[in-house]
Amino acid sequence: MTRLRWKLLAAMVALVVVTLGVSALFTRRVTHDQVHRLLLTRKAISTDAALRPLEEHLRQTGGWRGVDAVIDRITAAAPSRVVLAAMDGEVIGVSADLRGAAVSVDDQDRIVAATARRRLTVQLPPQLVRDAAGRPVARAYVMPAEGLEGPTAQRELAAVDRRLLALFAIATLVALALTVAISRRITRPIEQLTAAVHELARGRTPSPVPVTGRDEIARLAASFNAMADAVATQEELRRRMVGDVAHELRTPLTNLRCELEAIQDGLAAPDAARIDSIHQEVLHLQRLVEDLQELALAEAGALRLHRVRLDLGAAIARAVGDRAELAAETGIAVDADETRLRQVMDNLLANAAAHSPEGGTIRVRVARADGDATVSVSDEGPGIPAADRERIFERFYRLDEARGRARGGAGLGLAIVRRLVELHGGRVWADDAERGATLIFQIPVAPS
């Protein structure tokens, strides 16, 4: 179990215990008071047994002097508690066990008995004490003598305490089980993310972290999976690029070495044809290095464009020359770098020429489409399978791996095209064609 889970579990357990403990104490106090009230509101003695002595004392003495002795006789005959109050609520007398407490009666018949240790409030229906003329002159409240200290109350309260303790224990166990489950549900994805990050830090490709739900942790796991996929893809591309560069450099360097060693050993004469062959290999290496440098600058965003307002049709016509048939709309203004546009067209035309048959026609078309300017280059070659139409713009990708460098190139031209077009704020793609392949790039039209 992780330290985070321990902390989370401890915090939730503490919260549960404190909450349930406070609730249990409050419930116990309220329940004890309710039990006490129920015991006190039981029928204690009959109304006549309580009222008759009080009314006789009132008729004989004409007042309430000495009424405590009468109350003591009433409580001695039948164990009970008596509170006698005037009609205005003033307490006249109480039974002996309440004389040590501060007793008061309000106009809603609530009796409050307060001692140094506890305070009890009970609401009872009063019994009216009448004088000889039948007028009510006082209120008598009679309740059982047994309170919280009696055996019946103690039994009731003990039973209540046992039930409360059982409920508290059950609630605590359920809360602990839920806490463990919730903490595990929260921390499990974090543990999986941590393990995946460690794998990634060691240079390994981690397994995808399971994504469940739509909360913040699920979004974090999805983002990590996307990041891990991107890192793995970039690592694979880096390995492929290193291997492809090594492969592309190995062949011309091997040819150069063989030619030079043959001349050194006297097996071949350094005539014009052989020197021209060596020169072609050197040019190929130079073009490869320049293409790699252009691509690296473009991907790093360090390649700067010198944009000017151009008529796209005229600029494409200058770049195409007599290498292809051109159909261009006029008046399409763009903000572009003409040198980079020429480089894009050179690469597209070189690609079309490499895949066109002997005597095939290359067609270039410049037009407007959905508020943007488009340039398409079509050839009459074998076409591009649908599965490869996106991959042809990757570095060193060839449709036919067996195609030689003379016809297949190094596989960098279209990758450079894509980067240059994207720098212009456009995009490039391969489209269906009735015959051959059509590559299209689109850039924004200049604002008026």
Asked whether residue 281 falls in the same domain as residue 316, the answer is no
**Residue 17: CB partners within 8 Å, gap ≥ 6?**
172
The answer to whether residue 117 is domain-embedded is yes
The answer to whether residue 203 is domain-embedded is no
**Residue 377: CB partners within 8 Å, gap ≥ 6?**
324, 345, 348, 349, 351, 352, 362, 363, 364, 438, 439, 440
CB 107, CB 139: distance < 8 Å: no
Asked whether residue 293 falls in the same domain as residue 309, the answer is no
The answer to whether residue 28 is domain-embedded is yes
Q: How many domains does the chain have?
A: 4
Please, which residues bridge with residue 358 across strands?
none
- In 3D, which of 18, 121, 124, 119 has the Cα closest to residue 80? 124
**Residue 59 structural domain:** 45-144
The answer to whether residue 165 is domain-embedded is yes
The answer to whether residue 417 is domain-embedded is yes
| CA distance to 305, 414, 419, per residue, from 300 (Å) | 14, 17, 10
Angle at 67 between CA 66 and CA 73, to 5 degrees: 110
Please give the Cα distance from 430 to 165 (Å, whole number): 76
Choosing from 283, 298, 313, the residue where a domain stops is: 298
The answer to whether residue 179 is domain-embedded is yes
The reported pLDDT for the residue numbered 406 is 47
The reported pLDDT for the residue numbered 151 is 62
User: Which DSSP symbol is given to 395?
Assistant: T
Asked whether residue 159 falls in the same domain as residue 273, the answer is no
The dihedral formed by the CA atoms of 17, 18, 20 and 24, expressed in degrees to the nearest 10: 120
CATH number at residue 221: 1.10.287.130
Asked whether residue 376 falls in the same domain as residue 405, the answer is yes
**pTM strictly above 0.75:** no
The answer to whether residue 209 is domain-embedded is no
**Six token digits for residue 196:** 């995946």
How many residues does this entry show for the chain? Answer: 448
The reported pLDDT for the residue numbered 200 is 78
The answer to whether residue 313 is domain-embedded is yes
State the CB neighbour count (10 A cutoff) for residue 163: 11
**Residue 154: CB partners within 8 Å, gap ≥ 6?**
148
Please give the Cα distance from 429 to 426 (Å, whole number): 10
The dihedral formed by the CA atoms of 345, 350, 356 and 361, expressed in degrees to the nearest 10: 40
**Six token digits for residue 144:** 């059982």
Q: Phi and psi for 142 in degrees, rounded to 5?
A: -115, 130
Tracing tokens 């062949």 back to the chain, one arrives at 251
Asked whether residue 320 falls in the same domain as residue 405, the answer is yes
Choosing from 253, 269, 298, the residue where a domain stops is: 298
- Mean pLDDT per 10-residue run, the chain (448 residues)? 64 75 74 60 56 85 87 78 87 84 86 78 82 87 62 67 79 78 75 79 77 76 82 75 72 83 84 83 79 72 82 92 89 90 90 85 90 90 82 72 49 83 90 80 89
